[in-house]
Amino acid sequence: MPTITTQDLVRLVAEGVERARQDRLVRSKQGNIAWLKMKTPESFGRKSSTAFNQWWETVTMYLGFYPETVDCQKIAGIGTLLSDSALVWHLYRYRELGENDIWVNYTVAIRAEYRNEREAADAQLKLGQLKYQGSIRAYLMEFQVLINFARATCKALREKVDLAMPDAVLDMRFAHYLEDFADDEGFLQATHQAGLQVEKKKALKQAREMSGNSSSGTKEKTDER
């Protein structure tokens, strides 16, 4: 009977602990997948109401939700979401490459085939027309959606934001941020904070005016008595 040394015993215990940890991780992932699911993206084809770039974003979000999916499953899954000429394109590529196709190459190919350059131009136009309507959160949310398609330069993006902002927001931002911004994120955060402060100040002013009117009305009724 072979002799088990102390080192062997320590190693066996460590291996057992590691196997138990891996089993818990697997059970945890299975438990999460069992109840948490994501809606399958809509199909894409000639009659689709959604532009390709926007549709492709929903696809990448969906696939990111299931990170264990391998390349051949991703490609086959995309095929089930395609119709019309898009499905014809997919099947032709499958007949040519079959199991040799990989996700990176497939992604480049389908985006090159169906990316709508007009979508970028339309987004640029909408960015120029986008105006601040009293809510900095709503403005920046719509702004972020549009810049995903516009592919504008940093300078152009900042100019569009500045032109859309009222003087009160610009004055607030310039008063608190004296140096130039190193990147777009800092610029947008500063604009966001400035907009929030202006909106809070406006809300406070309205509340004070309402309170003042109410007090004045009460005083007048008291004097009449």
Would the pLDDT of 84 be above 80?
Answer: yes
Q: What is the per-residue pLDDT for 195?
A: 92
What is the average pLDDT across 154-183? 84
| Distance between first and last Cα of the chain | 110
Average pLDDT, the chain: 78
Q: Tell me which of 193 and 224 has the higher pLDDT.
A: 193
What one-character DSSP code corresponds to residue 99? G
Q: Is this structure's pTM higher than 0.75?
A: no
Confidence of residue 191 (pLDDT cuts 50, 70, 90): very high
Q: What is the per-residue pLDDT for 220?
A: 47
Would the pLDDT of 169 be above 90?
Answer: yes
Cβ proximity of 130 and 164 under 8 Å: yes
Would the pLDDT of 225 be above 50?
Answer: no
What one-character DSSP code corresponds to residue 134? S
Q: What is the per-residue pLDDT for 91?
A: 92
Residues 85-105: tens digit of each pLDDT:
889 999 999 999 888 899 989
CA angle 89, 39, 71 (to 5 degrees): 45
Distance of CA 134 to the CA centre of its chain: 23
Share of the chain above pLDDT 70, in %: 71
Partner residues linked to 44 by β-bridges: 82
Q: What is the per-residue pLDDT for 224?
A: 46
Total residue length of the chain: 225
For residue 26, the surrounding DSSP H or E stretch is helix 6-35
Would the pLDDT of 186 be above 50?
Answer: yes
Which one-letter amino acid corresponds to residue 211? S
Would the pLDDT of 5 be above 80?
Answer: no
Confidence of residue 66 (pLDDT cuts 50, 70, 90): confident
| DSSP code per residue over 179-207 | SPPSSHHHHHHHHHHHHHHHHHHHHHHHH
